[in-house]
Amino acid sequence: TMLKKVLLGSLGAALVLTAGILLGHFGIQRGSTAPDWVMDVTQDVDEALIQKFIVEVDNIAIQENLRELTKVPHMATSPGDEQTVQYMLKRWQDPDTGLDQAWREEYKVYLSFPDPNTPNKVTVGESWEKAYSSDQEDPEVVQPYAAYAPAGHPKGRLVYANQGKPSDYFLLNQTLNLTGTVAITRYGGEGRAGKAINAAPYGVIGVLVYTDPWDINDGKMSDNNETYPFSWYMPPSGVERGSFNTHYGDMLTPYLAAKDDTYRIPEKNITGIPPIPTQPIGFEDAYALICDVKLDIYNREELKNSANVMGVIRGSVEPDRYVIYGNHRDSWVHGAIDPSSGTSVMLEVTRVLGRMVKQGKWRPRRSIIFGSWGAEEFGLIGSTEYTEEYYSKLSERSVAYINVDIAVKTPGSDSTSVYDNWIRYFNRTSPAYGVIPNVGFLTGAGSDYAAFIHFLGITSMDISYTYDRTKTRARIYPAYHTAYDTFDYASKFIDPGFTSHQTVARTAGNVLIRLADSLLLPFNCSDYAETLEGYLSKAMELYTDGLAAHMISIGGSQSLAYTHTHTHTHTQRGMGGQRKGHVIWASSKAGQATFPGLADAYTRAASTGLDSDWKEAHRQLSILIQAIQGAAHTLGDAI
């Protein structure tokens, strides 16, 4: 078929190019009289230096980093956030262990906050989480709210709508008139904003969202002996905050950096946010809601200045090639695990590397850029604005992006190595190598890697120490986005001794040094080939018959008349969402391990049956073919 021929041709050209590079490198004769600059240019990664780095990473230093970072709540643009900005700058500008340079970059972004003088209320429930320690009593603890949900005061009959998926409301509407009702939904199965967006067409006037103890606590519900402060499980009053927004980045300046003088679209043109009042609640309140309810939502939107803190270690041989390491800084409350576990790890990585640089013992081949992103919790805003401002430079010069957000979700069970645990619990069978550790896909916009891989197409990874999912149903650590995600919680129930944090720091630093210092980048074309071949097989299996029934051939589709520029633009903007530019790695709603744009378009067309949707599926197939052809051409002859 045409798609298969294009794909196989691209892979063949890539393998020939790789072989040429290897022959060129190893065919060079090295003499002892070579000039110093030749030795510098041909220097490969130093394994002894990596071992030195691993030895110097200190778990107690990471623990103290976390203690400092979680002293006060630090929601984006709050006084606590500014305090954390200053702390990051102090560490990265330290004369003994700092970086070559560190600075802050400001963006004026559109955020959503509750009214501090008029709390949001659900009339039959409590507005605040129960205090088990002084952390929950801090006056800077933001009340539970749904960021970007509109203000309003809906009152109506309560209906249970499961996870708030389109199918849930469709089935519910078969037996109930939903007009004028308030829906109560549980987290999971559908994005936060989707629970309200899906409800509005049925006449629902408000939505409540709670975390079900079955999904997060393995059914544990009592704070007398089962939940925090006695275990890692969420207490009954715990409320998961979050951004109720289906897009990422600043909503008023899509594809543009949110500077003071940037054009902003009218607020009425914003899409992807709840059209009706929405509020998160704890499961003890959800349990009690058996009657009519009234929601009083006083959220308000503001333009606020949010800062990224940036740092750099300049490369000695290829300073114009960047390895980027990032983690967001802001949290909903104290954020010990999300995100400060990752920030603590990043600070330890920069301390060890910074000392090596300051002592003259090491300088990377390529430049390393560190980013402490702002306003991630509101929709990956800091990292997205950074990629928008420096789009051209990052697209051309970036080698890879490493993201460490939630570094540790649970402590390690034993002293087994990371590799052995990895291959034991999360493996796959490779045609070339047999059973190997599996590397997942960054298919969703779950953290700051999204803009780098989905928008810019930069090789990216997200590192986290997770738990054995055969032992718990928890979809994430139970204190996630609540007032109980504190240093006390982290040090008692997540990682006593901080040895798992130490392991993540060693792993992330190991990868970082290899990417920055390797003479030949440690990327494997055969892995990419396996993925593309798997995507092709899945696409042929799932879509060939359905497309053929609508006179669309996945094998012989004629290309649409786009130029290369048009293909690039439509690949970015033509996939049903903002900033999802990569035909292989963009996020997908279809849940299929195949080309995301085609998968989403086909799934929608098969669901609606509309001719316009089948035309969109045809268009996505054409975009895919031309994108792969374009990549193949760059690997072929110069003319």
Give tens-digit pLDDT for 88-120: 999 999 999 999 999 999 999 999 999 988 989
* C-alpha–C-alpha distance, residues 215 and 8, integer Å: 43
Helices and strands counted in the chain (H then E): 20, 17
* C-alpha–C-alpha distance, residues 327 and 602, integer Å: 35
Phi and psi angles of residue 206, each rounded to the nearest 5 degrees, phi first: -165, 155
From 129, 190, 301, 376, active-site residue: 376
* C-alpha–C-alpha distance, residues 323 and 378, integer Å: 26
Neighbours of 285 (CB within 10 A): 21
Per-residue confidence (pLDDT) for residue 291, from 0 to 100 = 65
Tokens of 433: 């190598």
- Is there a catalytic annotation at residue 376? yes
* C-alpha–C-alpha distance, residues 129 and 117, integer Å: 17
Length of the chain: 639
Q: Residue 369: CB partners within 8 Å, gap ≥ 6?
A: 310, 311, 312, 322, 323, 324, 325
DSSP string, 344-379: HHHHHHHHHHHHHHHTTS---SEEEEEEEESS-TTT
Give the alpha-carbon dihedral of 95, 96, 98, 99, to 10 degrees: 80
Per-residue confidence (pLDDT) for residue 37, from 0 to 100 = 59
Tokens of 400: 């890879």
pTM: 0.86
The SS3 call for residue 261 is coil
Digit-coded pLDDT (tens) for 165-208: 999 999 999 999 999 999 999 999 999 999 999 999 999 999 99
**Average confidence score pLDDT of the chain:** 86
Per-residue confidence (pLDDT) for residue 24, from 0 to 100 = 47
- How many C-alpha atoms does 61 have within 13 Å on its Cβ side? 14
Which of 2.40.30.10, 3.30.70.20, 3.20.20.140, 3.40.630.10 is the CATH number of 53-111+305-396+404-436+445-453+466-517?
A: 3.40.630.10
Asked if 114 contacts 140 with a C-beta cutoff of 8 angstroms, the reply is no
Per-residue confidence (pLDDT) for residue 584, from 0 to 100 = 77
* C-alpha–C-alpha distance, residues 319 and 367, integer Å: 5
Start and end residues for every CATH 3.40.630.10 domain found in the chain: 53-111+305-396+404-436+445-453+466-517
Phi and psi angles of residue 81, each rounded to the nearest 5 degrees, phi first: -65, -45
**Which DSSP state fits 558?**
P
Burial 435-444 (b: 16+ CB within 10 A, else e): eeeeeeebbe
Phi and psi angles of residue 472, each rounded to the nearest 5 degrees, phi first: -155, 150
Per-residue confidence (pLDDT) for residue 636, from 0 to 100 = 67
Report the chain (639 residues): mean pLDDT per 10 consecutive residues: 54 48 48 61 87 98 98 96 98 97 98 92 66 76 95 94 95 95 95 96 97 94 91 94 94 94 95 96 85 86 98 97 98 97 98 98 98 97 97 96 95 72 83 82 86 91 86 91 96 95 96 96 79 82 89 58 34 46 74 80 87 91 82 69
Per-residue confidence (pLDDT) for residue 566, from 0 to 100 = 35
The SS3 call for residue 400 is strand
Burial 329-355 (b: 16+ CB within 10 A, else e): bbbbbbbbbbbbbbbbbbbbbbbbbbb
The CATH code belonging to domain 112-300 is: 3.50.30.30
Per-residue confidence (pLDDT) for residue 23, from 0 to 100 = 45
Tokens of 163: 């996870």
Start and end residues for every CATH 3.50.30.30 domain found in the chain: 112-300
